[in-house]
């Protein structure tokens, strides 16, 4: 199903604000479900400078994203939970993963933003390496581990442990 800005989001919309990142064979997908996003939030997601960082804590990968002047967003990820990823591809020389960004207004059900970002090669190589490490580890008590990370670290704290931080 094709997405189009200004049209209804064709999939299930959560009842509260939620931000998720997923990986499939085509790259990464960032879904931002906001309740009545402001014009500033919408424009920052649509055209603001995107800075990405990456860290791993207790076996959980954290993508960190900052759109323009908006606060950092932390996005936990575990490859074992990616149902649409059938084969992890190493980024070819000089290329990076595609990041598809979609913002949905949960109040209206409309797609507010669709944005495609080519992630830099060196950032994508780090992502690939962290996912390979994670694939080798069993999925064990994911929710409990994630909660313990959140009890210890805020997004700003996670940023201090980033193995890479880069404007995209």
φ/ψ of residue 24, rounded to 5 = -135, -170
CB 63 within 8 A of CB 165: no
pLDDT digits (tens, 9 = 90+) for 89-132: 999 999 999 999 999 999 999 999 999 999 999 999 999 999 99
Return the pLDDT at 1. Answer: 63
The dihedral through the CA atoms of 133, 82, 41, 4 has a sign that is positive
- The ranges of the chain with pLDDT < 70 are 1
């Amino acid at each position: 199903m094709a997405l189009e800005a200004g049209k209804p989001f064709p999939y299930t919309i959560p009842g509260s604000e939620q931000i998720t990142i997923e990986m499939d064979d085509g790259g990464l997908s960032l879904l931002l479900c906001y309740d009545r996003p402001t014009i500033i939030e919408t424009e920052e997601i649509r055209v603001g400078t995107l800075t990405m960082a990456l860290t791993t804590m207790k076996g959980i990968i954290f993508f960190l994203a900052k759109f323009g002047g908006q606060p950092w967003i932390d996005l936990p990820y575990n490859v074992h939970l990616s149902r649409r990823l059938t084969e992890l591809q190493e980024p070819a020389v000089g290329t990076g993963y595609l990041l598809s960004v979609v913002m949905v207004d949960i109040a209206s059900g409309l797609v507010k933003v669709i944005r495609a970002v080519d992630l830099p090669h060196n950032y994508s190589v780090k992502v690939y390496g962290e996912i390979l490490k994670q694939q080798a580890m069993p999925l064990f008590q994911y929710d409990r581990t994630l909660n313990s990370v959140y009890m210890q670290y805020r997004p700003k704290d996670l940023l201090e442990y980033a193995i890479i931080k880069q404007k995209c």
